[in-house]
Chains A and B, each alone.
Chain A
Amino acid sequence: MLDRRPNFAPSPAEGGGLVGSQPFRTAAGGLIDRRRARDFTFDGRRLSGFHGDTLASALLANGVRLVGRSFKYHRPRGILSAGSEEPNALVELRSGARREPNTRATMAELYEGLEATSQNRWPSLAVDALSVNALLSPVFAAGFYYKTFMWPAAFWEALYEPLIRRAAGLGRAADAPDPDTYEHIHAHCDVLVIGGGPAGLSAALAAGRSGARVILVDEDFSLGGRLLAERREIDGLSGPEWVEQAVAELKNLPEVRCLSRTTLFGVYDHGAYGAVERVSDHLGVPPAHTPRQRLWRIVARRAVLAAGAIERPHVFGGNDRPGVMLAGAVRTYLNRYGVLPGHSPAVFTSSDDGWRTVADIAAAGGRVAAVVDSRSEVPVALRRMAESAGAQVVAGGQVIGTRGHLALSGIAVRDSYGGTLHIPCDTLAMANGWNPVVHLDSHLSRRPVWSEDIHGFVPGTLPSGMVAAGAASGRLTLSEALESGARLGAEAAESCDFTATAPATPRTDPESTAHTPLWRVAKPKGKAFVDFQNDVAASDVELAHREGFRAVEHLKRYTTLGMATDQGKTSNLAGLSIMAELTGQPIPAVGTTVFRPPFTPVAIGAFAGHHRAKEFRATRHVPSHAWATENNVQFLETGLWLRPAYFPRAGETDWLQTVIREVETVRSKVGLCDVSTFGKIDIQGRDALAFIERVCANPFGTLKVGRSRYALLLREDGFVLDDGTVSRLSETHFIMTASTANAARVMQHLEFCRQWLWPELDVQMSSVSEQWAQYAVAGPRARDVLKRIVDPGFDLSNEAFPFLGAAEITVGGGIPARLFRISFSGELAYEIAVPAAYGDAAWRAIMGAGLPYGICPYGAEALSVMRIEKGHAAGAEINGQTTARDLALGGMLAKKKDYVGRLMKERPALTDPDRPILVGVRPVDPSQRLRAGAHFLAVGAEPSLAADEGTMTSVAYSPSLGHWIGLGLIRRGHERHGERVRAYDPVRGGDVEVEICNAAFVDPAGERMHG
């Protein structure tokens, strides 16, 4: 059943049948759909291909061989491979906001209207000004960055780096926001099969038939792997026919999911895998409601690695010239895409496998110019087959150089007698054996091991739960792939407690893996490239050896071998083998570098998924959010919260004007502020008070039911964790508040204390932060406003509900609420809490009730100004580096109880009287502005670290005082009230003389809040 072969049309010169404008397309055959033409452009040139083509196959069909310029020397480059290992054919795809650089033409599926542009060339691909770099190649040898751009250092940022970036960059990223969407998805399975070739399909079938949940991923847009690319026979079916059958069966198994266009790019701990699905990359624009790409996180109990193998290039002079290709790729283009890349191809092989290329070209009706086999003994049958195809056969020969301007026109061959032959040809197919794809199994730092059987690295100890099948495991024949895939797929299902049996291995046509690798050609003519993408030649490896960079990791970094975006898929072993030869060691003694995710580059957009722009992270809304947005609020991002910052009114021209008005309204009338962002922790239990005593540094033993108290929490190391309040609602029921920023941390700390330090205490905790909307009603008229809010029967008088009172009340005719008489502003103030669903109603009701009293809403800015006016420490002072003593709160520390942090706060450095301590500062000249972050220096002192006496932590313009005020931490500050120092701010050029004073600027006796 090998009759699906394409009938290759003879070259145009011979008058063969052409397929439209595609002179290198065979007359028939391949897996493309010739009824569906696909027009596209390359560098603006209009070309045509077929549905089922890649950009690479369509370019080759049109005779386009020069596709890009190399990274360093700007050498002309073509298409080396037919897969994801492609180092050369990198293009910019699409235009405008969808422009995507460094896309491998071999992986880009052709679609109608595709726009591709070559990159890294100027002014054009054919005439590239920087190809002069190639003439300077001695300058650009390995390590040239380290040697050339050494000095003067000042030139680096201004000159060298921009120059190097312009010259050596690859493609250009789009300069507009990506208009498409990306998403994440999670999947779980019993058996993950990585790769959809013969081994992978066999594994998926064997596992899937057992009923196990199976996910099969493959980076190609069609499942089948090399079966789509080779003329093979399985149980009398052609490769593609067998694939079709297998895929049809898989699709009928309900628990099997096949993901094509999906690259498994990373292996992570505990059976987690990362994959990216190119959902819409094969379309110009993603359909409505469809992402461009989808990032999969797959958790699998078992994995069968069936990722195949990558063919090795030969290392000879001019091996990078467009037209020099991997032999397997030539067969792929011929058998899968109906494209023979040249009219007079030659083959350079070190294995029997390479001769398949000759057979396939001959079978397609093509002619082969020559076959050069580096082995002196060539099987007679192969030689006869080649000669009948018209090929000159050179056994024991080596290709040492190439000719051609922008594409290959001939090769120089050294024959077994040492003579040199010049053979005209336009394509050279290289076959030098295959390297198993050991990338994924080495992602968890497991090193591959050397196999003498295949002269390559094979998986060593695999990650837990993973097995390797087929070519990925070094089993390079089709029959071994089918056998090992089915067997390991069944075993994987069995180990997940399914009953599975491997079917009998199908019959396949004969094949040979005979191979004697040729690591490099001796005395090449011209640069012999090892790493095409990073322009590393064999001579660079020699240089690294001479200069002592011989260890593999040094070799890699000194030459950049394997460090390009292809991670050296076609180059690593060549580099290692040359170093082995130079150091006189076997290859396994040289060792190998390992690989890390991603297997191929993944767009950042796929990792970001939904989380871009405003969705970069979640946003939390306060209960008064709707009212605030209706009332011209300006928001402030505080962590995830969107907090109202201030509420400008008509005619107010800057934020300070608004904030001054809000502060003045609170201090003279009444204001309303949403403080729901504070943490609220419900603490219950017989030992709740004892628990609170132990976590708080100030005493609580006397806290009565219906009372609130300031609460100071220390960390175990003696520094202040946070402050808040504790209110006692009943004998066994308390509410603790924590600051917005520390809400989660305090909850975590309390849980730690409860679960680990004192599990014997009868305490139950629950975060009720989200349950309650909580508003501060502050100002001399606060009581008047609240009288109109609380349900009748509750006495708000100062006598009945004094400062630091706490009560469970009702509002709005029976809605449960909590009222606390606590004040952050220093005014007569209450905080009222209602169930969050009533938060909006409560806000509107209070605003309505406050109207006759001139109420205004105030935001976080005014709140902050008022706390600075009162000298309250907040986030800028409680910064994880300050103790209670530093915050001038030492006096409230309990003397007669134990609590978290009690002993550790007594460490000598923390009790040093020279430690900075909280003070207020005011500018000597009241017209001067203060800035947070300024350092305090003695007047007249030269700025130096030694002279630094502390820092200004918070500043505000005080409407109450009519000038700027600040809080700061300064050495022995409590002893220095009235002293003058400099507030020195070199960053913003500030240098203000300030006077140290009491931190409580407004109402230091606290009379207002008691009123």
Chain B
Amino acid sequence: MAEHATLWRPRGAWADTARPGRHGRREGPPGLIVTPREGLALASVTAVDGAEARLAEAIEARFGLSLPEPGGAHLSGEAGLVWSGPDQWLALGGARGDLDGLGAALRGAAAVADQSDGRAVLRLTGPDARRVLEKGVAVDLHPRAFGPGRTAVTAIAHIGVQIWQRDDRPTYDLAVARSFAGSLWTWLEAAAAEFGCEVRASA
């Protein structure tokens, strides 16, 4: 009701954990720069068996991107699709609501379920970003094995995560189930400490 309207503000998945500022080693430039990504639009897209071609067409029409192959992340700015399992993708949009209507657009070709708040996302970049991730991820992130446009569904510190690489600076986005954000953050802070870590305000 109207008298409560001002109270209905979203609370970020990282609100309890990510403190902006410098963490770990103080000297020199930070090896890792972390930006909590709040307010994104995320949705799981599960293909209807036999409708993959129609799905690819519909994705092309909406995103201007082809449907990613296994292990692929097709991105255009903040929008795109990230492969997340056989016949499954995670659709991305830069702002809450960006994926509204996706379910209708893909009807008959795929089931869409909103995950905007189901996953908590961090953007990791900096000269030591890969070295930090290596402490948690068993997947080979070397440029010969991984790179921009690649994704992996894996685990860090026994917590299921999905990472996709955005560019070769390198910049990675990391998604974790929302309830695990606190534990994932504790690991990240410990893993990044030796390199120095700058946490930016969420964006």
Q: Interface of A with B (CB < 8 Å)?
A: 181, 183-188, 213, 288-291, 297, 299, 610-611, 615, 617-622, 625-626, 641, 682, 684-685, 759, 762, 764-766, 768-772, 788-789, 791-792, 811-813, 815, 835-842, 844-845, 848-849
Contacts and interface: CB of A to CB of B under 8 A. Distances in A.
Contacts of A848: 4, 7
Contacts of B15: 626
Q: List the 6 shortest-distance A-B pairs measured between CB atoms, nearest first.
A: A812-B8, A764-B111, A771-B118, A620-B179, A837-B10, A684-B111
Contacts of A788: 1, 4
Nearest to A842: B8
29 contacts: A181-B190, A183-B135, A186-B134, A289-B25, A289-B194, A290-B194, A610-B157, A615-B183, A615-B186, A615-B187, A620-B179, A621-B16, A622-B179, A626-B11, A682-B113, A764-B111, A765-B46, A766-B88, A766-B113, A766-B115, A770-B118, A771-B113, A835-B10, A837-B116, A837-B117, A844-B7, A845-B8, A848-B4, A849-B4
Given A183-B190, A186-B138, A766-B111, A213 B10 contact: no
B94 interface: no
Contacts of A840: 11
B158 A771 contact: no
A276 to B, nearest CB: 15
Contact of B134 (A187, A213, A626): A187
A771 B114 contact: yes
Contacts of A771: 113-118, 178
A213 B180 CA distance: 34
Nearest to B183: A618
Nearest to B146: A188
Given A297-B138, A789-B1, A625 B8 contact: no
Contact of B110 (A618, A764, A772, A844): A764
A621 B8 contact: no
A618 B188 CA distance: 13
Interface in B183-203: 183-184, 186-187, 190-191, 193-194
Given A288-B25, A841-B9, A848-B7, 16 more contacts: A186-B134, A186-B136, A289-B24, A297-B138, A299-B138, A620-B177, A685-B111, A765-B46, A765-B111, A770-B177, A789-B1, A792-B1, A813-B5, A835-B114, A837-B116, A842-B8
A611 B158 CA distance: 10
A290 B2 CA distance: 53
Contacts of A618: 157-159, 180, 183-184
Given A183-B190, A297-B138, A788-B1, A812 B7 contact: yes
A848 B187 CA distance: 36
A997 B2 CA distance: 49
**Most B-side CB within 10 Å, residue of A288, A770, A789, A840:** A770
Interface in B109-147: 110-111, 113-119, 134-140, 142, 144-145
B196 to A, nearest CB: 8
B49 A812 contact: no
Contacts of A288: 25
B8 A768 contact: no
Contact of B118 (A641, A768, A811): A768
Nearest to B135: A185
A762 B47 CA distance: 10
A89 to B, nearest CB: 32
Contact of A812 (B4, B111, B158): B4
Contacts of B194: 289-291
B44 interface: yes
Contacts of B4: 788-789, 812, 845, 848-849
Contacts of A611: 157-158
B8 A838 contact: yes
B73 to A, nearest CB: 19
Contacts of B177: 620, 770
B48 interface: yes
A744 to B, nearest CB: 10
Contacts of B190: 181, 183, 610
B8 A815 contact: yes
Given A684-B111, A841-B9, A836 B117 contact: yes
Nearest to B119: A770
B79 to A, nearest CB: 19
A213 B135 CA distance: 18
A425 to B, nearest CB: 50
Nearest to A190: B144
B11 to A, nearest CB: 4
B148 interface: no
Size bracket, chain B contacts: 35 or more
Nearest to A186: B138
Nearest to A211: B144
A844 B118 CA distance: 20
A836 B194 CA distance: 33
B46 A764 contact: yes
Contacts of A792: 1
A762 B48 contact: yes
Contacts of A625: 16
Contacts of B118: 768-771, 836
B12 interface: yes
B170 interface: no
Given A615-B183, A615-B186, A685 B117 contact: no
Interface in B1-37: 1-2, 4-5, 7-13, 15-16, 24-25
A842 B4 CA distance: 10
Nearest to B179: A620
A213 B145 CA distance: 11
Contacts of B116: 771, 835, 837
B48 A764 contact: yes
Contacts of B140: 188, 299
Contacts of B136: 184, 186
A766 B182 contact: no
Contact of A183 (B8, B88, B114, B191): B191
A286 to B, nearest CB: 10
Contacts of A837: 10-13, 38, 116-117
B30 to A, nearest CB: 12
Contacts of B142: 188, 213
B10 A619 contact: no
B110 A812 contact: no
A430 B183 CA distance: 55
B180 A759 contact: no
B6 to A, nearest CB: 10
A772 B136 CA distance: 28
B134 A185 contact: yes
Contact of A621 (B12, B49, B145, B182): B182
Contacts of B178: 770-771, 836
B190 to A, nearest CB: 6
B23 to A, nearest CB: 9
Contacts of B182: 619, 621
B115 A812 contact: no
A186 B146 CA distance: 15
Nearest to A768: B113
Nearest to A811: B8
Contacts of A620: 177, 179-180, 183
Nearest to B197: A289
Interface string B143-167: 0110000000000011100000000
B117 A770 contact: yes
Nearest to B4: A845
Contacts of B113: 682, 684, 766, 768, 771
A417 to B, nearest CB: 66
B48 A685 contact: yes
A291 B135 CA distance: 12
A194 to B, nearest CB: 20
A840 B178 CA distance: 13
A625 B158 CA distance: 22
B89 to A, nearest CB: 11
A826 B95 CA distance: 41
Nearest to A788: B1
